[in-house]
Structure 1
Amino acid sequence: MEICCVLEVDVNGLETFLVDKKIMASFSSRLNRLFGQKSGAANGKSKVIFHDFPGGSEGFELMSRFCYNNGKVEISPQNIVLLNCVAHFMEMYCDEAPSNQSLEEQTENSLGGISYWSWSELLASLKQCQDLLPAEESSFLVQKIVDCVTEMLSLPTVASSCTSLSDSSCYPRSSMESVKSNCSHMAWWYEDLMFLEIDWLDKIVRAMISKEHDHFAITRFLLYYQKSKSIGATVIEKRRILEGAIRLLSLVDRDLSNISCKCLFELLCLGLRWNISIGHKELLESFIGSQFGQATVDHLLIQSPRGEKYAYDVYLIFRIVKAFLHKGDQLPTGQLKKVGHLIDSYIGEVAADLHVQPVTFEELVSILPEAARDSHDSLYRAIGIYVEVHQQLSSQERLRICDVLDHDKLSAGALGDLAYNKDFPPKITVKALLILQHKIKRLVPSTRENVSVKVKGKRKSHSSRRKRSLQVDMIGYSNLAKSIVHS
C-alpha cells in the first residue's frame, strides 16, 4: 500500500486502524467529502478520529470488511443492527459505490427474512437496538424488529389467561420459576424481556397494547418488572422505573388489567417515598380513583408528607375521591355507597387528630354527594369526636361542620344522643329533638295497631300503659327543647 493511500483511523480512542482511504471513501459519503478532492494532506498519511463510532472497533471492522470485499458482507440477526448503524453514521449510501446496493440498503433488504428468525435472534437484535440507538429511534429497521418481537409474544402460548396469579397480591412471587410453573402460558417471556431499560420497554409495551395483547399479562409483567429492576438500583433509577411503569399502566384497560386497589396504593406509597413527578402521581391517583370501591380504610391511612404535623395525608384522599367522582352521574349507586361507608370510616380515623384544621375537616365531611349515604350515623359519630377534641372551634366553624348532618338520615338512637350532646350547637340539637319527637308520635298509632284483639284484659291494659309511657317521654322531650331554646 502506497503511503499516499494510507488512512489512520482512531476509533473512540480505544483502537487505531490503518486502511486504504480510497477504498473506504468509495463506499462512504462521509469520508468521500473529506478525501474526494485533493488537499494539502493528500500526499501524506491522513488521520481521522471518531469519538462515537457505533459499536467501536467491532463496528469499524465490519465496515472495513464490507469495503475491502467490494460491498459484500455476511449479514445476520446478530450484526444487522450494528451494520445499519454504521451505514448511517458513515453515510454509506454513496451513488458511486462499486456494488449494486449500499450497506444501508442491504441491511434493510435482509429484514425480508425476519419472520424466520428465532426468538433468541430477535432478542439479540433488540438488545443491539437498545445498546446502539436512542429509544426515540423509529427507523424502518427498529420498527420491524419491534413489530416482530410483539408478534412473537402474541402467539397462542402467550395469549391464554391465567388466574393463579392472585389479584390479592401486588406482585408475582419473587422466584420467576414459581411464576412460570403457575402460569407458563402467559409468563414465559417475562424474564426474557428483563434486559430492557424502561425507555425501550415503553416502546415494546406500547406496541403490544396497539396490537391488543392480553392486558392482564401486560399488567402483571409491568408489576414484576418494576419490582425486579428496582432491586439494587439507586433512588433515581427506582424513580425512573416506577414512573415508566405507571405511565404504561395508565394505558391498559382498567377493566381488563384486574389490578387490585391494594397494589395501586403500594405503588403510590413507593412513589411518595421516591418523590415521583406530580404528573405520574396524578396518573396513579386517577387509576386508584377508578378502583376506589375496592379499597379498605387501611389503604387510606397514608402518612402525611414529611414536615407536616397532621398524621394522615388527607389532601391525597381528597384528590383520589375527586378522581373517583369524575364520572359523575355514570357512577353505579352500589360503588358510590361503598365509598360513602369507606370515607365515613376514614373520617372517624382522622377526627381525633388535633392538627386537622376545621376548613380541612369541613371539606372532608362534605366531599361526597348526598346519594353516597343512606345513614348519617357513622358521620355523626365522627363529627362528634372532632368537635369534642377541638374545643377551640369558633361557633361559626362548629356550626358549619355540624350542619353537614342530615337529621332525616339519623337513626332514633343517634337522634336521641345528638339531642343531649353539648358539643353540638343548639340549632342542631333542637332540630334533632324535634325530629325525634315526631318519630315518637308516629310510633304511637303503630303501637296501638299491634295490640292483639284476641286477648282482652291484660293485653289491653299493657297497650294503655305503653301509650301513657310514650306520652310522658314526649312531654319530657318538649320540656328539654324549651329549656335549650331559652338558654
Structure 2
Amino acid sequence: MKFMKLGSKPDTVQSKGDNVRYVATELETELIVTIGNIKFYLHKFPLLSKSGYLQKLIATTRNEEKKNQVDEVDISEIPGGSVAFEVCVKFCYGITVTLNAYNVFAARCAAEFLEMNETFEKSNLAYKIDVFLNSTIFRSWKDSIIVFSTTRDLSPNYTNEFTLKLVKRCLDSIAYTASIDTSKVEWSYTYNRKKKLDEKAVPRDWWVEDLCELHIDLYKQAIEAIETRGKVPFEVIGEALHAYARRRIGGFSKGSVRVIDKSLTESIIELLPDKKGSVSSSFLSKLLRASVFLGCEETVKERLKKRISEQLEEIAVSDILMFDVDMVQSLVNEFMDRDPKSHPKASVAKLVDGYLAEKSIDPNLLLQNFLSLAETVSSFPRQSHDGLYRAIDMFLKEHPGIDKSEKKRVCGLMDCRKLSAEACEHAVQNERLPMRVIVQVLFFEQIRVNGSSTGYSTPELTTTTLNTEDDEWDHVKEY
C-alpha cells in the first residue's frame, strides 16, 4: 500500500480522557473546536492561516467585547469527523502525518470543507492530497479499491458535488484498470478461481475477487462503471457476480442462504447481464433457489426463471434438484414458449428424466405431478429412453400403492423400442412393471436381435401392439 508523509515535527497531539484532544505546548489555548462529543483545544494562527472556512467562522462569531475570551466553534458536520479533522490539525501544525489509502479520502473531503486550498497558502493540504491521489493512489489498483471502500464511511449528510466527483474518480480508476488488456496488467497472483492457469498469462477475470471486498452498494457502482466502459466481456461480468455471491451471501454455495441476505441477493440479480450465456446456468439456478428461500419479489423470480429457460439445456440435474416439481414444470413451460430447436429439446428431456428419477425417491411425490412433468416433455426427441425408464422404475418402487390404471399410464410414457440392451435386461426381470410392458420389451428386444442379424431395424410399433388391453393379460401372472 502506498503512503505519503507530511510534516516533520513530532506528534504533540495528546488526549485527555475520551473526549478531549489538545496540542501540548506552552502557549495558551485560543480556540476550541467541537466535533460531536470531542473537543479540540487549539491555537488560532496555525489553523486560520491555512483554513479559509475557520478564518471566516471565527470572524463571524468573535465577540468584540470579549477579545481575550477563547473562541469556541462547532463543526460537527465536517466530513470524516474528528479523525479527519485531526489529520488537518497536524498538517497545520507541521506535525508528521501519514496519508494512505484508508484515510486519504476523508482527509481530502475535510480539507475541502475547511477550504484548505491555494487561496490561503501555497502547497496547502488539498493540493498535496490531490498530487498524492493522482500520482500514486489512482495508479494503484488495490489502493483505488481501498479508497473507494472508505467512501461509504462518510455520512450521507456529507455528500456534495465535490465528494461525488471524488467518488467518480475512484470508480473511473477501477473501471479503467479492470478494462485494460491483460498483457498490461501487473498482477499479484492472489487468485483463488478453480481454473488451470498459465503462470505467465493473466486470466481475463483476474480482478473479480479483489472487488468482492466491497459492500454491495459500492460493488454495484463498480460493476456498472466497468460495464459502461464496454471493454470487459459479459461472461467475465457474470464470473465476477458469481464470485461475489459465493463470498458475500452466507450459505450460497451450499444452498442454505440466510434471510438477512435478501436485499443483497436482489441486488446481484439486478446486475446480471442480459446477454445469454453471460452467466452460467448453475449460477442462475442457485440465485433462483436463494430468491425462493428468501421470499424475493415475484418479478425477481420471474426474471430468473426466464433467464434459466433460455439455457435450460445447459443445466445439470444437481442444479435443479432442490426445486419442487412445480418450479421445474414452470421452467420447462418457459422453455417451450421459446419454441427451441430439436437438439435443445433432447437435452431438456434428458434433464427432466434425470430430475424425475431423483425426485421419485420421495414417497410424497404426487402421481399427478410426476405425470404432468413427464408428459410435458413426452414429445421431445430422445435417442434413448433409459433415463425415462429409470425415473419410472424409481417412481413405481417408492409408490407401490398406485392402482393398475395409474401404473399403465406411468409406463405408457416409455417407448420400449428405445431402451438399451442393458435397460431391457433389467426391465424383463423388473417385478414392478406390468406384465404387458415386460412382454413388449421382450418382443422388441427379440425383433432387434433378429433384425441386427438380418440387417433390418426395429419396426414401428403398431397401434394394436401399443394399446393391447389389460384384459388380454388377465390370465398372465404379474410379478
User: In structure 2, which of residues 233, 249, 255 is the aligned counterpart of residue 214 of structure 1?
Assistant: 233
- Please state whether the residue corresponding to 1:129 is helix, strand or coil: helix
Task: Describe the shift of the 1:27–1:136 C-alpha distance in structure 2 as closer, same or farther (beyond 3 A).
Answer: closer
Distance 1:82 1:185 in 2: 34
Q: Deviations over 1:206-225 (max 9, x none)?
A: 21122221334444444444
Q: Deviations over 1:321-358 (max 9, x none)?
A: 345445x12x2321111111221232233335321224
Give the aligned partner of residue 402 of structure 1: 409
Aligned residues: 401
Distance 2:329 2:471 in 1: 39
Alignment of 1:62-211 (within 5 A): 63=88, 81-86=105-110, 117-119=138-140, 122-123=144-145, 125-132=147-154, 139-157=164-182, 172-173=193-194, 181=199, 183-186=201-204, 188-190=206-208, 192-211=210-229
Alignment of 1:189-268 (within 5 A): 189-190=207-208, 192-212=210-230, 213-228=232-247, 239=261, 243=265, 246-247=268-269, 250-251=272-273, 253-256=275-278, 259=280, 261-262=281-282
CA contact (8 A) 1:341 1:373 kept: yes
Give the aligned partner of residue 454 of structure 1: none
- Please state whether the residue corresponding to 2:354 is helix, strand or coil: helix
Task: Describe the shift of the 1:275–1:79 C-alpha distance in structure 2 as closer, same or farther (beyond 3 A).
Answer: closer
How far is 1:388 from its partner? Answer: 7.4
Give the aligned partner of residue 294 of structure 1: 314
Give the aligned partner of residue 411 of structure 1: 417
Task: Describe the shift of the 1:231–1:181 C-alpha distance in structure 2 as closer, same or farther (beyond 3 A).
Answer: farther
Distance 1:159 1:364 in 2: 52
Q: Deviations over 1:422-442 (max 9, x none)?
A: 998xxxx8xx9xxx9xx99xx
Task: Describe the shift of the 1:390–1:157 C-alpha distance in structure 2 as closer, same or farther (beyond 3 A).
Answer: closer
Task: Describe the shift of the 1:387–1:180 C-alpha distance in structure 2 as closer, same or farther (beyond 3 A).
Answer: closer
How far is 1:190 from its partner? Answer: 4.6
How far is 1:241 from its partner? Answer: 9.7
CA contact (8 A) 1:158 1:186 kept: no
- Please state whether the residue corresponding to 1:196 is helix, strand or coil: coil
Q: TM-score, normalised by structure 2?
A: 0.58
- Please state whether the residue corresponding to 1:184 is helix, strand or coil: coil
Task: Describe the shift of the 1:338–1:192 C-alpha distance in structure 2 as closer, same or farther (beyond 3 A).
Answer: closer
Asked whether 1:59 is paired with 2:81, we answer no
Give the aligned partner of residue 354 of structure 1: 363
Task: Describe the shift of the 1:151–1:277 C-alpha distance in structure 2 as closer, same or farther (beyond 3 A).
Answer: same
Task: Describe the shift of the 1:385–1:6 C-alpha distance in structure 2 as closer, same or farther (beyond 3 A).
Answer: same
User: In structure 2, which of residues 332, 342, 360 is the aligned counterpart of residue 321 of structure 1?
Assistant: 332
Distance 1:287 1:136 in 2: 37
CA contact (8 A) 2:208 2:240 kept: yes
Distance 1:412 1:184 in 2: 48
Residue range with higher mean Cα deviation, 359-368 or 114-123: 114-123
- Please state whether the residue corresponding to 2:32 is helix, strand or coil: strand
Q: TM-score, normalised by structure 1?
A: 0.57
How far is 1:47 from its partner? Answer: 3.7
- Please state whether the residue corresponding to 2:277 is helix, strand or coil: helix
Q: Deviations over 1:80-134 (max 9, x none)?
A: 63355336766x599xx96599x99979987995799421553454344344366
Task: Describe the shift of the 1:149–1:46 C-alpha distance in structure 2 as closer, same or farther (beyond 3 A).
Answer: same
How far is 1:298 from its partner? Answer: 3.7
Tell which structure's C-alpha radius of gyration is larger. 1
One-letter amino acid of the structure 2 residue matched with residue 205 of structure 1: I
One-letter amino acid of the structure 2 residue matched with residue 300 of structure 1: I
Distance 1:266 1:479 in 2: 45
One-letter amino acid of the structure 2 residue matched with residue 129 of structure 1: T
Give the aligned partner of residue 42 of structure 2: 18
CA contact (8 A) 2:386 2:418 kept: no
CA contact (8 A) 1:290 1:324 kept: yes
Give the aligned partner of residue 12 of structure 2: none
Distance 2:305 2:326 in 1: 12
How far is 1:317 from its partner? Answer: 2.5
- Please state whether the residue corresponding to 1:16 is helix, strand or coil: strand
Distance 2:229 2:206 in 1: 19
Task: Describe the shift of the 1:199–1:276 C-alpha distance in structure 2 as closer, same or farther (beyond 3 A).
Answer: farther
How far is 1:147 from its partner? Answer: 1.2
- Please state whether the residue corresponding to 2:204 is helix, strand or coil: helix
Asked whether 1:363 is paired with 2:372, we answer yes
Give the aligned partner of residue 468 of structure 1: none
